[in-house]
């Protein structure tokens, strides 16, 4: 009899990204959630209870663990207890907090995945399915790159693979905050990121170093999505047309292409309404959205816009990264197909 190994996954940090990764993992038949952590018995614990995920405390001290019981939640222990029963931990703690958790994962002897709020230098590896699944096979730990880097990679990596070289300038029009976040802004201003170039574009080089890319960024008062304004210079003899670039992207997973004029989907508001209409949990859109009528190749210069649902494009990537690190699926396209099939079973009405 063939024994199918189920990968035991811990989620450290059950917030915006953590709760989504937990559900995406739970939907797969080759992995299971063995526990999620909360810092205190507050908002979010009820969701974990409803989903049936065992709750652990982010910290190991007895007082903090006892506070969960006092508030009526069953707490199964501290982070160390959770790490003991897991094969791999997906760290979804706030950006720059993860570094302090790394030592705990290494001492527990389990594999670890951080998110895009951490620096590549801290993790040593970075991951996105379309760029470098193979390089991450069997490694001890990695970082799933940010929502912006994931989005850039989805459309730029196939272009690079066709052309053999690529030089890119992009402007990131960034959402000010996530919809559930009341503490960030701006609420009535356009805020340029005064570190030039911004880190967003160059971060692509942590997963595909061959792509030459720079970016500038502005934050605007919206919570729905980011928009990228991209100008890519292709090498002489690229042999592409606007139509063949669109066909290339159409053949790749996790890219949705729609014509704005024909569909009436001309802004991020309608893109998100489309995601809600197809019944995605939380109204998520895991795919990158490209406006067909906003793509134009003139000579060697390719112009296009794409929209990124910041809370969800990295979610399936975390599932693929688990398979890469556990070395259970060497083929990135096979992992993506498996991940997305399982997620779509809960995505659609």
Stretch that binds ligand NAD, among 64-72, 90-98, 124-132, 188-196 (CB under 6 A): 90-98
**Residues counted in the chain:** 349
Distance CA 216, CA 199 (A): 8
| Beta carbons within 10 angstroms of residue 270's beta carbon | 16
On whether the CB atoms of residues 130 and 204 are closer than 8 A, the answer is no
Q: Indicate the pairing of strand 31-38 with strand 7-12.
A: parallel
101 counts as binding ligand NAD under rule CB under 6 A = yes
Nearer to ligand NAD, 129 or 310 (CB): 310
Give the side-chain half-sphere CA count within 13 A for 33.
Answer: 26
Q: x/- string (CB under 6 A) for ligand NAD, residues 322-341?
A: --------------------
| Residue closest to ligand NAD (Cβ) | 15
275 counts as binding ligand NAD under rule CB under 6 A = no
Q: How many Å is the Cα radius of gyration of the chain?
A: 20
**Which residue among 7, 33, 92, 297 contacts ligand NAD (CB under 6 A)?**
92
Minimum distance of ligand NAD from residue 265's CB (angstroms): 21
Q: Residue 186: is the preceding peptide bond cis (ω within 30°)? A: yes
Distance CA 249, CA 70 (A): 53
197 counts as binding ligand NAD under rule CB under 6 A = no
Question: Could you identify the residue written with the tokens 């009899």?
Answer: 1
| Token pair recorded at residue 145 | 């790159």
Stretch that binds ligand NAD, among 8-16, 63-71, 153-161, 194-202 (CB under 6 A): 8-16
Catalytic residue among 45, 75, 92, 147: 147
- Catalytic residue list contains 163: no
58 counts as binding ligand NAD under rule CB under 6 A = yes
**Which residue among 125, 146, 155, 306 contacts ligand NAD (CB under 6 A)?**
146
Nearer to ligand NAD, 44 or 197 (CB): 44
On whether the CB atoms of residues 136 and 127 are closer than 8 A, the answer is yes
On whether the CB atoms of residues 21 and 312 are closer than 8 A, the answer is no
253 counts as binding ligand NAD under rule CB under 6 A = no
**Which residue among 7, 9, 10, 13 contacts ligand NAD (CB under 6 A)?**
13
Distance CA 65, CA 86 (A): 19
* CB burial of residue 314 (10 Å; 0-12, 13-18, 19+): buried
314 counts as binding ligand NAD under rule CB under 6 A = yes
Stretch that binds ligand NAD, among 81-89, 109-117, 184-192, 271-279 (CB under 6 A): 109-117
221 counts as binding ligand NAD under rule CB under 6 A = no
37 counts as binding ligand NAD under rule CB under 6 A = yes
* CB burial of residue 318 (10 Å; 0-12, 13-18, 19+): buried
Distance CA 230, CA 302 (A): 8
Stretch that binds ligand NAD, among 6-14, 128-136, 190-198, 290-298 (CB under 6 A): 6-14
Nearer to ligand NAD, 193 or 248 (CB): 193
Which residues are annotated as catalytic? 147
Kindly list the residues in this chain that would bind ligand NAD in the complex (CB under 6 A): 12-18, 37, 39, 44, 58, 92-95, 97, 101, 115-118, 146-147, 178, 310-311, 314
């Amino acid at each position: 009899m063939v024994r199918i190994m189920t990968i035991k996954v811990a989620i450290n940090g059950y917030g915006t990204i953590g709760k989504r990764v937990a559900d995406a993992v739970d939907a797969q038949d080759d992995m299971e959630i063995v526990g999620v952590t909360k810092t205190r018995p507050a908002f979010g614990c009820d969701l974990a209870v409803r989903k049936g995920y065992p709750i652990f405390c982010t910290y190991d001290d007895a007082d903090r663990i006892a506070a969960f019981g006092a508030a009526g939640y069953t707490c199964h222990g501290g982070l160390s207890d959770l790490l003991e029963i897991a094969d791999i931990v997906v760290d979804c703690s706030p950006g720059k907090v993860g570094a302090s958790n790394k030592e705990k994962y290494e001492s527990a002897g389990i594999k670890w995945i951080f998110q895009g709020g951490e620096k590549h230098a801290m993790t040593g590896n970075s991951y996105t399915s379309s760029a470098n699944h193979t390089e991450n096979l069997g490694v001890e730990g990695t970082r799933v790159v940010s929502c912006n880097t994931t989005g850039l990679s989805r459309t730029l990596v196939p272009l690079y693979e066709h052309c053999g070289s690529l030089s890119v300038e992009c402007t990131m029009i960034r959402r000010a905050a996530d919809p559930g976040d009341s503490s960030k802004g701006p609420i009535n201003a356009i805020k340029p990121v005064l570190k030039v170039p911004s880190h967003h574009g160059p971060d692509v080089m942590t997963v595909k170093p061959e792509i030459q890319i720079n970016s500038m960024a502005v934050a605007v008062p919206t919570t729905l999505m980011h928009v990228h304004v991209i100008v890519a210079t292709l090498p002489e003899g690229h042999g592409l047309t606007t139509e063949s670039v669109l066909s290339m992207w159409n053949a790749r997973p996790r890219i949705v292409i729609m014509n704005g004029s024909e569909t009436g989907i001309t802004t991020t508001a309608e893109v998100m309404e489309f995601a809600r209409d197809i019944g995605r949990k939380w109204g998520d859109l895991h795919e990158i959205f490209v406006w067909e009528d906003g793509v134009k190749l003139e000579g060697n210069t390719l112009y296009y816009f794409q929209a990124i649902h910041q809370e969800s494009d990295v979610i399936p990537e975390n599932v693929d990264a688990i398979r890469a690190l556990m070395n259970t699926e060497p083929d990135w396209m096979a992992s993506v197909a498996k991940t997305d099939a399982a997620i779509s079973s809960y995505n659609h009405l």
